[in-house]
Amino acid sequence: MLAKRALLLAILTLAAAPPAWAEPIRTHPENPRYFLFRGKPTFLVTSGEHYGAVLNREFDYAPYLDELQKRGLNLTRTFSGAYLEVHGSFQIQNNTLAPPLDQYQSPWARKGGKYDLDQLDPAYFDRLKSFIREADRRGVVVELVLFCTLYGDDLWAINPMNARNNVNGVGDCPRQEVHTLKHPELLKRQLAFVDRVVKELNGFDNLYYEICNEPYFQGVALDWQARVASAIVEAEKDLPHKHLIAQNIANGKAKVENPDPNVSIFNFHYATPPVVVAMNAHLNKPIGDDETGFRGNGDRVYRTEAWEFLLAGGSVFSNLDYSFTAEREDGSAKVVAPTPGGGGPALRAQLAFLKSWLERFDFLRMRPDDSITVARGSVNDDVRVWTLAEPGRQYAAYLRGGEKIALELALPNGSYEYGLVDPRDGESLGGGQFTIEGGNHALELPDFAEDIALSIRRVP
């Protein structure tokens, strides 16, 4: 009888336990360069709106998230509301990060036309949690960016942390000192905000935090960033879930020499060519290219940047997609100059194909590899091949260039099958089989206009 009761209790305990995916997205225990999300190895790819989905009350985020889900994109990057922009910032037209001030959802409550940094607005948390909940329903991970550097005086002039805009009299300082440890009363409010956000959002699994956007501009201090990261850890110390923390390191490239032990994701912007992945291989953590979108209105530069970065071993790619506006939340707005970037359905479809193509591989077992090179004598033998490989079993390669390129495959002996696709539309460009016996194999590629992707798998 006691044994039966013990068995029944065990069954009931298992039935009541949360599913394995209740744990927030985390680095994968078998390959911490990638993520584990809801029981599956994952990398994050998106072409998302300009970070204003929560702070801009004019923006209806349901159609936006529907479009990401429809495309199979699985990330959105959004700002917390501690920073906002003004009309004309960076020449972005219909900027979702620059709402009319009467439509700005500040984290802090307003009193007599000013903000009270000691009182957080319940309506803010309602909207923030609703957004993350709707993203959760669609399988979209939210990168919540807590702070952002203040690029200019016009942005500081409207910010709630500016003493002129709050009833608390804190923030009477130059904008280059806002994100430092120099002003204890301002720091106190910043950390209180972080503490409340982290505690309110602890139950979400589709969430991680970034400390500050582009802190390498305008005086954001490293010790301040470390203090914010530790505040996240402290807030979750006695809570059931622990969320990943990302740090934005540099535009382009930089080597992380002394990583903050609280940081698990290292983000770079405009990381092309993607040399930053190899530069930081010693971290054995996810490396992200989590902002691009200032290279003109065309699709090609963003598609090729995404393919190169992920095939170099990166695990996050986030493009700024300016076709999402408060008037066209479904991403159907036409993007034209002077808006500095691009976006739209065609680019999202291309990035979605990249994601689905990579997911056909057992990518958790793959590493950056140099087994595939451009053969000597090719017309474009200066073209670089970016390859992920599980040597002798599976290879994913990408290159951009043009005509009359042959590849030299330095693969282990065995029989292999291969396929070629056009990254612009996923169209097959041919394929076949080959066998390697004691030497390399030359594979001649068909002419291609912009770029090409190659898959190779060992034949059992």
Element (H, E) at 141: strand 141-148
Q: What is the mean pLDDT of residues 389-407?
A: 91
Place of tokens 């986030």: 318
Q: Are residues 292 and 404 in the same domain?
A: no
Q: Are residues 349 and 450 in the same domain?
A: no
Q: Going by C-beta distance under 8 Å and a sequence separation of 6 or more, which residues neighbour residue 279?
A: 253, 254, 255
Query: Which residue among 342, 359, 376 closes a domain?
Result: 359
Supply the CATH number for residue 280's domain: 3.20.20.80
Place of tokens 């801009």: 56
Q: Are residues 319 and 386 in the same domain?
A: no
* Residue 275, in any domain of the structure: yes
The total domain count for the chain is 2
End-to-end CA distance of the chain, in Å?
Answer: 52
pLDDT in tens, 142-154: 999 999 999 999 9
Question: Would you say residue 206 has pLDDT above 70?
Answer: yes
In whole angstroms, give the CA distance from residue 232 to residue 445: 50
Structure tokens at 32: 């911490």
* Residue 2, in any domain of the structure: no
Alpha-carbon 329 to chain mean position = 20
Q: What is the mean pLDDT of residues 40-63?
A: 98
Q: Are residues 130 and 94 in the same domain?
A: yes
Q: Are residues 322 and 272 in the same domain?
A: yes
Query: Which residue among 359, 389, 411 closes a domain?
Result: 359
Please tell me the predicted confidence (pLDDT) of residue 3: 45
Query: Which residue among 331, 359, 387 closes a domain?
Result: 359
Supply the CATH number for residue 421's domain: 2.60.40.1180
Q: Are residues 372 and 346 in the same domain?
A: no
Residue 10 CB: number of other CB atoms within 10 A? 10
CA dihedral 196, 198, 204, 205 (to 10 degrees): 180
* Residue 22, in any domain of the structure: yes
Closest CA to 455 of 377, 383, 362: 362
* Residue 9, in any domain of the structure: no
* Residue 288, in any domain of the structure: yes
Please tell me the predicted confidence (pLDDT) of residue 58: 98
Question: Would you say residue 236 has pLDDT above 80?
Answer: yes
Q: Are residues 244 and 191 in the same domain?
A: yes
Q: Which DSSP category does 342 fall into?
A: B
In whole angstroms, give the CA distance from residue 282 to residue 177: 32
* Residue 122, in any domain of the structure: yes
For residue 202, name the pLDDT band (cuts at 50, 70, 90): very high
Is residue 343 within 8 A of residue 322, CB to CB? The reply is yes
pLDDT in tens, 407-420: 999 999 999 999 99
Please tell me the predicted confidence (pLDDT) of residue 347: 98
pLDDT in tens, 114-126: 999 999 999 999 9
Q: Are residues 346 and 406 in the same domain?
A: no
pTM for the predicted model, two decimal places: 0.93
pLDDT in tens, 428-455: 999 999 999 988 999 999 988 899 999 9
Q: Are residues 376 and 315 in the same domain?
A: no
* Residue 5, in any domain of the structure: no
Is residue 82 within 8 A of residue 147, CB to CB? The reply is yes
Q: Are residues 175 and 237 in the same domain?
A: yes
**pLDDT cut 70: percent of the chain above it:** 95
Q: Are residues 270 and 349 in the same domain?
A: yes
DSSP lists the bridge partners of residue 48 as 320
- Polymer length in residues for the chain: 460
Residue 102 CB: number of other CB atoms within 10 A? 7
Q: Are residues 122 and 46 in the same domain?
A: yes
DSSP lists the bridge partners of residue 265 as 246
* Residue 8, in any domain of the structure: no
Identify the domain containing residue 408 by its residue range: 366-458
Please tell me the predicted confidence (pLDDT) of residue 12: 35
